[in-house]
Structure 1
Amino acid sequence: MVAALLLTLVSAAPSATAEQPAPSGELQRAFAEAAAEYRVPQSVLLGVSYLQSRWDGHGGAPSVTGGYGPMHLTDARTALAGAPHHSHGSEDARGDAARAPRTSDATAVEDGGTLPARLRTLERAAQLTGISPERLRTSPAANVRGGAALLAAAQKRLGVPSDDPADWYGAVARFSGADDSATAKTYADDVYDVIRSGQSRTTDSGQRVALPADAGLRPDTATADGLGLRTVDQGLTECPRSVACEWIPAPYKEFGAGDYGNHDKGNRPASQAVEYIVIHDTEATWDTTLQLVQNPEYVSWQYSLRSSDGHVAQHLRLKDVGWHAGNWYVNAKSVGLEHEGFLVSPDAWYTEAMYRSSARLVRYLAKRYDIPLDRQHIIGHDNVPGTLPSTIAGMHTDPGPYWDWAHYFNLLGRPFVPTAGPGASVVTIRPDYDDHRPVYTSCEKPGDTCPAHGSGAVRLHTAPDETAPLVKDAGLRPGGEDSTNGVNDTGARASTGQQYAVAERRGDWTAIWYLGQKAWFHNPRKEPTAVGARASVVAPREGLTEVPVYGRAYPEASAYPAGVPVQAVTPLPYKLLAGQEYVTGGRTPGEYYWATTFDSSHHTVVRGKEMYYEIQFGHRVAFVKAADVRVLRR
C-alpha cells in the first residue's frame, strides 16, 4: 500500500461562477493596470503569465496542480484522492508475454499533510490584494492583479526596488514556486526568453494579447542567488543543460520467487537502438508519481515532468529498459516521459512551462539517438499497439485527445506544415486545436458529455456525413460494434501530426485508409483539418490480396539461440488489403530483448533476418513484414 497525497481535480468543468468572456482587449488592459498598480514591469507580468497559461483563463477551471487563471494561482485544496494511472485498465505495462503480467497492488489514500507553498499561491495573493479567493479563481482581471501582487512581494523581499525588467529575474524565479535553484532559474530563463522573442495570440476567451519583443533584454541573474533554495541531486541524470533535472532513481530490487522490479538493466544503444519516445500523462499528482516509481513492485519510466514549473526527475539510466508502454518491443526501444496530468479532465490543463521543458528534453533525446521528430517516433501511449489480439482492449489511452501535439511540435522546431498541395495522395492531420472542439463523453461519468474543449484529434466516419456511424475497430470490439465518442475510445480517431494515405475525396470530406477500411473526416478547404504531405507508403506486394498486421516486430523462430524461448509472431485482427496504402515510419529489424532474470548477465538481444516496416495503421502504429509489402513514394 502506498500512502500518498493525491490532488485529482473535483471537476473538469469550469466554475459556475466563472466570469463570461470579456470584450477583446480587456485582458491586455488588465495586465497594464495591474502592472501599474503594483509597479511590476508589464513585460515581466505578461511573460510570467504566458509561461504559466499562455494567457488563457480556462473558464475558471483548475490546472493539474490546482492552478487558476492566466497567472496560474494555485489553490490545491479543491482536490480529491484518486487512483494512480498505471492501475487503470488491464494493461500489463511491461507487455512481455514471456513473463507473468506485471500487476501492482499500489493504491493511494488521502494524506492530510501540509501542502507546499507552490500549491497555495492563491491564498497568499488573497492576503496581499484583499480580493476573495473565489474572485481570484474566476475573474481573469482579478487573477492578474493577484499575480502582480505576488511578483511585487517577491521583489520587495529581495530588496531590489527597480522598474527595469532586467532586475526582476530573482522575483520571477521565486514566482515559479520551485524549491530548488536549478528549476527556479530555468523557469526564469524561459520567462525572459518569452520577453526577448515576444508573443501574441488570441486566448481561449477570444482576448487578443500581445507582448512586444525586447530582443536586447539581459536579466541580472545574480538577483536569484539569494533565494535560499536547495540544490538538487543531479546524480546520474542525462538531461540537456536547458532543463532542470533531478536524480530520483527507480529501484532495481529482487523480492523473491525470481520476481524483481521495477525495470530491466540494459546496454542501449550498443545492444539495440532507441527508436521511440513515448509521451504519457501520470493520472496522479507529482508527489504520488514519485512515490509510485520508487516502489519496486510497481512499474517504471525514464522521466517525470512537473506541471507547475517544468521540473524533471529522471528515474532510470537511458541504457536501461523501463516498464511503461504495455508493449515489450516498444519498451525495449523507447524512452518514457510521464507528464503530470489527467486525461479525462480536459480543463486540467498543462502549463506552458511543462510543454517547453518536455520539448527541450525530447529534442535532446532525439538528437542523442537519431530519432526522427515525427509522429511515428514521438508517440503517445495511446499510439502504442497491443502485442496480441487479447491485449488490444486493455491498452492505455493517455495522453488523450486534449494533448496539444501541434503546439508541442512547434516547440520541437518541427511544425506540421503542408509539404504537398491540397490534392496530395497523403495528408497530415492538423485541425486548429483551439477552434476544433469535437464532442467527447465519459470524462467524469459514463455517457456524460465532457466540457467543450480544444482537441487535436479528428473523428472518423464510415461515410462522408456527420451522422454516419464511426468506423469500427476489430481489435477493440471483436463483436463488430461501432466505435463511440468516449474520451478513451481510440477506435475512430486520427490525431494531429499523424499521416495517412488518401483513399477518396468528396467535396469537403476526405477518406483515408485506416484499420483496413475507408475512414471519412470533414476537411473543408477554407478551414482544413488536414494538409497535403509527401511520404513513403507501403502496399501489399504484387500477387497478395491481404497482408497480416503485427503489434511487435519479433524475429523469426530460427533466430533464437538455445535457452531463449521462441516468441510467437502473432497477427493482430486486422488486414492490410490490396488497393490500400499506409504511411511508413521506416524499416526496422526483427528484435527481441530476452530479459527475465534479475542477473542482467543472462539478458540477450535476439536479432533475426526478418525485416519489418512500421506503419500508421489506425490511431496506433503497427508493423508489417517487409517481405509482404512494396514501398511507394507519394
Structure 2
Amino acid sequence: MRTRAATVIAAVVLGAAAVPGTAASAPVSGRQQDFADAAKAAGVPQDVLLAVSYLESRWDTNRGLPSTSAGYGPMHLADAASVASARPSTGDGRGDDARPFVAAAGTVVATPGLQTLDRAAALTGVDKAVLRGDARANIRGGAALLAAYQRDLGAPGGAGSDPAAWYGAVARYSGADTADAAAQFADEVYDTMREGADRVTDDGQRVTLAARPSVGPQKSWLSRLGLRSTSTSDTECPPGLPCEWIPAPYQDLGNGDYGNHDLSDRPARQRVQYIVIHDTEATYDTTIGLVQDPAYVSWNYTIRSADGHVAQHVKTKDVAWHAGNWYVNATSVGIEHEGFAAEGAWYTEAMYRSSAKLVRYLAGRLGIPLDRNHIIGHDNVPGTVPSGVRGMHWDPGPYWDWDHYLDLMHAPIHTTGTPHTGLVTIDPVYDANRPAFTGCTGAATDPCPDHGSSQLILHTAPSASAPLLLDAGLHPDGSPSTMLLSDHGSRVATGQTYAVADRRGDWTAIWYLGQKGWFYNPPSAPTAKWATGLVAVPKRDTIPVYGRAYPEQAAYPAGVPYQPITPLQYTFPAGQRYAVGNIVQGEYYRAVTFDGSSPGDWTVIRGDTWYAQIQFGHRLMYVNLADVQLLPSPLGAP
C-alpha cells in the first residue's frame, strides 16, 4: 500500500500556503512516544494499542473533529451525545418516470450511538473535552479502556503480557453488539499486527508498528463477551467478511403501491455496471429501521462505522431503489455507509476496510471494473431530467478518501500519460488538500473545520481568486457555484478523468460542463496524473447530454409506454472533448407492478441506440454514440 509520505511531510511541515485553498498545520512531536507511554501506564501491549488505533483512525487526529459515528482522536473515543441527531435522507430513490414515487410517512427518531468517552474520562480523570481534542490524552484514554476491558474479562494483563490474550478486549473495543462483527474487528486488528504498518499522520507524525508475523490471537476470549449471533446464511459477502441478513420487505401496499425494491435476475437479465457508494445521513440503527420500512426506499448493503459490520438487505440479483436514477438503479448495487457527510468529517478505517473487501468481491463476481467509471459515489449519479438535477444527492461528500479506498481494493490509481497525452486523472494528496468549504453546520457561509479532502476546486481562470464555474442544473439562476459543502458544481474528485483543455504555469484546465475549469496542479506537488484513453468529440456544433441511456422509441413493444430520452440542461459544444468511461447499449428495465402483471414487466427493453458514458462534470453523463467521434486522447491535445 502506498503512503506518499514524503509529499505529506512536505505539505505539513512547509505549510500549504503555496497551494491555493489549503491551510497549514504545525507538526506535533512524539506521537510514537505517546503510544509507548500510554501502553506502559495502562498495562497494555504497545502493539495491541497501535493496531487498535490504526484500525480506528490510522493514527490520525482529524484535528479533533468527530468521525461519522461521533468518535474522536486516534483511539476513536465515542461521544455520540456531542453530535447532532440523525436526519435521514429523503427523495425519490427509484428515479423512474414510469412509476410515481410515494414517500414514506412518519417521523424517524435517531437512536443513541456509542458513548465510550465517558468511561475513558472516569478511568483517567481527564476532562472529556481534553480527551476529544488532545491526541496524547486521547491515546491515554483508549489505552485505559482496553485495560479495563481486559480486567472485566479476567484476562491476563500488563504491558508485557502476550498480545494473543487480548483478543476479547480488542473485540469489545469495537463496540459491536454481535459476535461476528466483534470478531471481524479483532481479526483486522491482529492482521494489522502481523503485517505491520508505517505512515505519516495527518499532523505530520511518523508512526510505525513493526510486523509480528507469528502473532496468533486466542479467540476463545470472544465467548466471554456474551454477544448475540446473527443470520448470515442468505448473504452475499466474501469469505472472512461476516454479513448479517436483514431483508428489505417486498410486499403489496395496495392501490398499486409496493416497496421497497424490484425483483429481477441480474446479471442473467441485465449486466450490473456500477457500485454506488452512499452515506446514510443517519445512525446505523435508524438506517436499519428505514430499510425495513416497506414504504421507504432501499439499498443492497449497510456498513456500520465503528466496527465495519455489514448487513445485506436486497439480493444483488434484484434492483434496490437507492440512486434516484432508474437506469443506474437497474444496473448497480448500492452500499450505504453509516455517517453524515457534513457533520462527521472522517470515516473510520474499519468501515473503509469492510467496504473495500465487499466491493472487490462484488466487482469480481459481477464483472465490474475497479475504477472510478464504475465504482462511483451517489454524487456522481446524474439526474434523469432537467427538473430533477438540483435534487440529486451529494454523498458520500468531499471527505470520503477515494485514494485510500482504492488502495484498500488493491486498485490504486495508475496512469501512463504525459503532459501531452490529453487526459488527466485527479489525485490530490488527501491530507494536504484542504479546500475552504462552508456550511458543515450552521449558516451556509460558516467555515467548515480544516480537514483533508478528495475534491479539488475549479476556477474560471488560472488563479485562486477567479470565480468558480457555472452549473446550470444546481444554479438555474445563472449564479456561479459556491464553496458550500454540498455544492459540487465546480469540483472534481480523486480518480475522475477529464480531457485537458489548456495548461498555464502551475495550472491545468479541463473541459467541464461546457466550460474550461482550472485547477492548481504544480509539477512540484501535482494534484493529478497525466493519463491516456478515449475522448468523445462532437460531430456537429452542439450535441445534447443525457442522464440515462434509454433505448429509442421504436424499441418499445406494443402496450409498453415509451420512456423519453430527455436531454439535460447542459450542452456539449464543438471544440470540446470529454473522457469516455464506458460504451453502453440503450436499455430500460420495465418494472412497474408488484407481481409483474403489467405488459412487458420484468423485461429489459434494448434498442439500437448506443451511448458513450463521459465525465462531463462532477457527475457522469451520456451522449448518443452517433453524435460523437471517439478518438485516442493524444489527437488534438493542447
Question: Do they fold alike, i.e. is TM over 0.5?
Answer: yes
- Which residue in 2 is equivalent to 1:619? 618
Q: Is the 8 A contact 1:73 1:147 kept in 2?
A: yes
The answer for the alignment partner of 2:11 in structure 1 is none
> In the alignment, does 2:68 pair up with 1:72?
no
What residue in structure 1 maps to residue 138 of structure 2? 143
Structure 1: segments with no counterpart, 5+ residues: 1-19
Contact 1:589 1:610 in 2 (8 A): yes
Whole-Å Cα distance in 2 between the matches of residues 572 and 137 of structure 1? Answer: 46
1:16 aligned partner: none
SS of 1:34's partner is helix
CA contact (8 A) 1:68 1:75 kept: yes
The amino acid that maps onto 2:484 is G
Q: Which residue of 2 aligns with 1:14?
A: none
Partner residue of 1:62 out of 66, 71, 74: 66
Say which SS state the counterpart of residue 508 (structure 2) adopts.
strand
Deviation sequence 1:174-205 (CA, Å, 0-9, x none): 21111111111111111112112222222223
Residue 567 (structure 1) aligned to one of 559, 563, 570: 563
Question: How big is the shift at 1:285?
Answer: 0.6
1:97 corresponds to: 97
Aligned-pair CA distance for 1:106: 4.1
Corresponding residue SS for 2:351:
helix
| Paired letter, 1:375 | R
- Counterpart check, 1:385 vs 2:389: no
Deviation for aligned residue 1:29: 1.0
Deviation at 1:554, TM superposition (A): 0.3
- Please say which of residues 509-518 and 598-607 is displaced more in the overlay: 598-607
Q: 1:341 to 1:138 in 2, by over 3 A?
A: same
Deviations 1:131-188 (A, max 9, x none): 3333322322222122112222222333332612222222211211111111111111
The equivalent of 1:12 in structure 2 is none
Partner of 2:340: 342
Deviations 1:580-624 (CA, angstroms, capped at 9, x unpaired): 221111211111011110103632211112111111111000011
| CA–CA distance in structure 1, aligned partners of residues 170 and 474 of structure 2 | 48
Which structure 2 residue ranges, 5 or more long, are not aligned? Answer: 1-23, 634-638
1:123 aligns with 2:118: yes
- C-alpha displacement of 1:124: 2.1
Change (3 A) 1:476 1:135: closer
SS at match of 1:226: helix
Which range moves more in the overlay, 212-221 or 426-435?
Answer: 212-221
SS of match in other structure, 1:630: strand
In the alignment, the residues of structure 2 paired with residue 232 and residue 478 of structure 1 have an alpha-carbon distance, to the nearest angstrom, of 49
**Counterpart pick for 2:596 among 569, 591, 600:** 600
Q: Which amino acid aligns with 2:94?
A: R
In the other structure, the counterpart of 2:5 is: none
Q: Which amino acid aligns with 1:369?
A: L
Contact 1:463 1:520 in 2 (8 A): yes
Q: Could you list the per-position Cα deviations for residues 560-585 of structure 1 after superposition, in whole angstroms to 9, with x for gaps in the alignment?
A: 11221010011112222222221111
Mapped contact 2:109–2:286 kept (Cα < 8 A)? no
The answer to whether the Cα contact below 8 Å between 1:106 and 1:292 also exists between their aligned partners in 2 is no
Say whether the 8 Å CA contact 1:93–1:102 is kept in structure 2.
no
1:579 corresponds to: 575
Please give the residue correspondences for 1:163-312 in structure 2 after superposition, counting only pairs within 5 Å.
163-312=161-310
- Tell me which residue corresponds to 1:10: none
Paired letter, 1:26:
G
Q: 1:167 and 1:21 mapped to 2: Cα distance?
A: 39
Q: Contact 1:266–1:600 at 8 Å: present in 2 too? A: no
Cα distance, 1:24 vs. partner? 4.0
Q: Give the superposed CA RMSD.
A: 1.8
Query: How far apart are residue 103 of structure 1 and its match?
Result: 2.3
For residue 254 of structure 2, give the secondary structure of its aligned residue in structure 1: coil
> 1:256 Cα deviation (Å)?
1.6
- 2:519 corresponds to: 521
Match of residue 11 from structure 1: none
**C-alpha distance in structure 2 between counterparts of 1:317 and 1:621, whole Å:** 26
Count of equivalent residues: 603
Amino acid at match of 1:620: R
CA distance in 1 between counterparts of 2:613 and 2:603 reads 23
The letter of the residue matching 2:277 is I
Aligned partner (choices 394, 397, 413) of residue 394 of structure 2 = 397
Distance 2:128 2:504 in 1: 53
TM superposition score normalised by structure 1: 0.92
Instruction: Confirm or deny: 8 A CA contact 1:552 1:622 kept in the other structure.
Output: yes
* CA shift digits 1:5-58 (9 cap, x unpaired): xxxxxxxxxxxxxxx988644221111011112221111100000101111222
1:65 to partner: Cα distance: 2.0
- Counterpart CA distance in 1 for 2:492 and 2:533 is 17
Q: Of residues 158, 182, 185 in structure 1, which corresponds to 2:153?
A: 158
Maintained 8 Å contact 1:346/1:453:
no
Partners of 1:305 and 1:157 in 2: CA distance: 28
Identify the residue that residue 3 of structure 1 maps to in structure 2.
none
8 A Cα contact 2:86 2:283, kept in partner: no
Which residue identity does 1:316 align to in structure 2? Answer: V
Are 2:47 and 1:43 equivalent residues in the alignment? yes
